Structure 1
Amino acid sequence: MKLLLDENLSDRIIPKILDFYPNSFHVKTLGLTNTDDLVIWEYAKINDFIIVSKDSDFHQRSLLYGYPPKFIYLRIGNSPTSKIVEILRNNFEIISNFGDSTLESILVLT
C-alpha cells in the first residue's frame, strides 16, 4: 500500500512512515507541487496510490467519483508533523483494511 501525501502535509513525514508504507511519496518529490488537484488525482489513480490530505477538495472529488484512487482525509486542523506521523503509524491496521476494502473510498482520521 502506497500513500501519496498532498502538499498541505510536510514532506518530512515520508521518511518517518516508510517502514509502514513502503514506496510512499510526497507530491513535492514527484514534482507535483502547485499542481491542479485533478492532476494529482489522476497520478494517484494511474500509479495505485492512496491520497492523504487535509484538503476538502479531495474529499469532494472522492464523493463525486469514488475510487480509484482512495482518499484518507485528515481532519486535524493545524497539527505538527509529529502528530501526523503518529496518526499514520498508529492507524496502520485501519488504513490497511481500508486499502483492501472494495466498499470504501474515503477514510476520515481525526
Structure 2
Amino acid sequence: MKLLFDENLSPKLPHILSVDFPESMHVRDCGLKGFPDEDVWEYARSNGFTIVSKDSDFYQRSLLYGHPPKLVWLRIGNCNRDILVALITKYKEQIYLLDSNPSESILVILS
C-alpha cells in the first residue's frame, strides 16, 4: 500500500509511517511540489498510489473521475504532525480496506 501525501501535509509523513505504509512518498519526493492537482492525480494513478490530502479538490476529482487513484480525504482542521500520524495510524485498517475494495474510491477521515 503506497500513499502519496499532498503538499498541504508534512513531507516527513512517509518516513514516519514507513512501517505501516512502505513505499509511500510526499509530492515533494516525486518532484511535484507546486504542480497542479491534475499532475498529482495522474502521477498517483500511473504509479499505484493512494492520495492522502486535506484538499477538497481531490475529493471533487474523485467523485468526477472515480478511481484509480483512490483518496484518503482528511477532513480535519489544523493540527500538528503527531496528531496526524496518530489519526492515520488509527485508521490504518480502513485505509488498507479501501485499497482492496474495488467498488470504493474515497475514505473520509474526520477528526
With normalisation by structure 2, the TM-score equals 0.97
RMSD of aligned residue pairs (Cα, Å): 0.6
Task: Name the residue aligned to 1:86.
Answer: 86
With normalisation by structure 1, the TM-score equals 0.98
Summarize deviations over 1:8-64 as a string: whole Å, max 9, x none. Answer: 001111111000000000001111000000000000000000000000000000000
Higher relative contact order (CA 8 A, sep 6+): 1
Task: Name the residue aligned to 1:97.
Answer: 97
Question: Is 1:17–2:17 an aligned residue pair?
Answer: yes
For 1:1-110, list aligned pairs within 5 A: 1-110=1-110
| Overall identity of the aligned pairs, in % | 48
Distance 1:28 1:10 in 2: 10
Distance 2:16 2:33 in 1: 20
Q: Gapped runs of 5+ residues in structure 2?
A: none
Determine helix, strand or coil for the equivalent of 2:28. coil
User: Which amino acid in the other structure matches residue 83 of structure 2?
Assistant: K
User: Which amino acid in the other structure matches residue 35 of structure 1?
Assistant: F
Summarize deviations over 1:71-110 as a string: whole Å, max 9, x none. Answer: 0000011111111111111111111111100111010001
Q: Which runs of 4+ in 1 moved over 4 A?
A: none
Q: Size of the alignment, in residue pairs?
A: 110
